[in-house]
Structure 1
């Protein structure tokens, strides 16, 4: 009876009792086009896992690991591929320590390598799902923290993990010397980013739109940043203190609604190619089969920046407590979408937009301390 009265009152007043309302892009997330204005350092399709290891900039593309070197470009500083090497299977995540590079190879395990790949040691933990290592971070030279996005889906199946409402992610602490691992957190909804700061670990929990804070043993778990309008991904340290947070796709009210319609969603998953699901994406506008292409998206044959979209580009600067300070965006009509990795090099932040296949540079770090 009480429920019926609440529903009737909500219908009369226009309240949303389904929880499908997406928080607005406001305050520190106020819309802008700064990523589109940033200089493009390198066009590299499917670029991912940007890290700095020693003096080298390293990234991955599928099963290839590329070492990048500065070069002269049309607008000055640019990047080029100076060296490449191939792994047996796709690389899902990388992390850099002082003189070590951790490389997660899908279905194989985690390789601890020298920056140039001359030496390599495989760590394969039977209880750790090597098919879905989404992020890693060194706590110290002998300890590696690993985020496993899901025990049920591989890393490339992240869209299926969301649309099946799976919460089978976990965080592991690996002792590199003894090759042992212990799970410090489980039941997470696709942890996709991790970083260690002093005695705290910050973890992006993508499908619950939040960043968690916990101790290095998994204790004292609490929400550090919640109710986000996009899906948070990898986290990188900022040289001036605080963090950089990549958000790889925006939330969409229609997706939030579909997530509550179990019968419709099950039929969609069963009968439609994942590229054309009503679901977030790293890039859009590549096929006429994609949903929502007309209507509010275009006016006078022009795509508007405020249009409903499945993909966007979003980088957020956070302070040491993970509170948002400012952001850099590529909106619906932009072309720096699907940001999955980032790292600081000198006085600039390199941003890897996997969806658009670009590495761009944010060059206004100095004087913006969080």
Structure 2
């Protein structure tokens, strides 16, 4: 008999109602981009897209993205200030701040102990809030975060002269940061399935996904999810002996965990149930990867959603923002920008 650990109940939201499965992500127009990850809207209205060690720019949908900046490390976060400055987070905790033309600005040296900047937000033209998830570039966040209790993430405010202040520590794998309607800062926690104010107040919890970035949209918000929450994973959180053996004897790539890539392999647990049934993968088949964007109202309550199910491939949505009247999302599973159509909050 496996030992059991008394943990909090799993998230309460289910994939039904406004969160019911659909094919919006798979039906969306797409532009292929090598290693996309983060999005931002520049002061002049162009879309900025991270692509490996580059930042690309797009003036209008359907064009080929053009190079805007080349960085010394993979880009992990993007933000634009009201004045047009662009903050670029880099793998390994680095940061580059540039003007609207892409020229590097002096200063902005981040603390040397930052592990990984996964999101950022200008608090003013002279101050940036940085989200450090606590997992290094060589660590698979999706594999590890569901099984680790350590809350090693934090949000740090950095000024141009290098001054750093920790706004909140002890966060469990924070992934995104935005302002609420009152101007307060709200962070998304990947595994805890909640939006948490830096004042400690939970704004909304129980989401049925592993949360990525959260972005303002009109009177509401867009919430990107790296995968849906799987009932098997939620159940196994009570089986401490099983999980201890898994972590001690198996490479993290093969742990029973959410994944970004929709590939199927006999090496992965339970995936044979999704590989073939009457010659095809069924949308309801077991799958640890999934595509999900949740539209939220002003109270951060879900009002609509877009999905790519087990038989789709536009999984692991890391970012979604409104741009030129449309909703644009990043699928790292398919390496594409997706256009979900006209911006709205609601079905």
Q: TM-score, normalised by structure 1?
A: 0.83
- The SS at the match of 1:283 is coil
Residue aligning to 2:52: 62
Over 3 Å counting, the alpha-carbon distance change for 1:271 and 1:207 in structure 2 is same
CA distance in 1, matches of 2:150, 2:320: 27
CA distance in 2, matches of 1:296, 1:342: 28
Shift of 1:313: 0.9
CA distance in 2, matches of 1:117, 1:303: 45
Residue aligning to 1:51: 40
Q: 2:81 aligned to 84, 94, 97, which one?
A: 97
Over 3 Å counting, the alpha-carbon distance change for 1:231 and 1:17 in structure 2 is closer
Shift of 1:298: 4.1
Work out whether residues 68 and 102 of structure 2, in 8 Å CA contact, stay in contact via their aligned partners in 1. Answer: no
The answer to whether the aligner puts 1:188 opposite 2:178 as a matched pair is no
Residue aligning to 1:269: 247
Shift of 1:369: 6.5
- The SS at the match of 1:207 is coil
Work out whether residues 113 and 120 of structure 1, in 8 Å CA contact, stay in contact via their aligned partners in 2. Answer: yes
The answer to whether the aligner puts 1:293 opposite 2:271 as a matched pair is yes
Shift of 1:288: 3.6
Counterparts in 2 of 1:1-370, with a 5 A limit?
A: 19=9, 23-40=13-30, 42-55=31-44, 56-70=46-60, 77-98=61-82, 99-126=84-111, 128-129=113-114, 131-150=115-134, 153-154=136-137, 156-158=139-141, 159-176=143-160, 178-197=161-180, 198-214=182-198, 219=199, 221-238=200-217, 240-295=218-273, 298-365=276-343, 368=345
Over 3 Å counting, the alpha-carbon distance change for 1:87 and 1:18 in structure 2 is closer
Work out whether residues 77 and 90 of structure 2, in 8 Å CA contact, stay in contact via their aligned partners in 1. Answer: yes
- The SS at the match of 2:242 is helix
CA distance in 1, matches of 2:196, 2:41: 25
- The SS at the match of 2:257 is coil
Shift of 1:348: 0.5
CA distance in 2, matches of 1:257, 1:154: 29
Shift of 1:287: 3.4
5+ long unaligned stretches in structure 1:
1-6, 8-15, 71-76
Aligned residues: 339
Shift of 1:292: 1.6
Shift of 1:146: 1.6
Give CA-to-partner distance per residue, 1:263-299, whole Å, 9 cap, x none: 4334433443333221101122243422222236642
Shift of 1:346: 1.0
5+ long unaligned stretches in structure 2:
none
Q: TM-score, normalised by structure 2?
A: 0.88
Shift of 1:47: 0.8
- The SS at the match of 1:284 is coil
- The SS at the match of 1:208 is coil
Shift of 1:338: 0.7
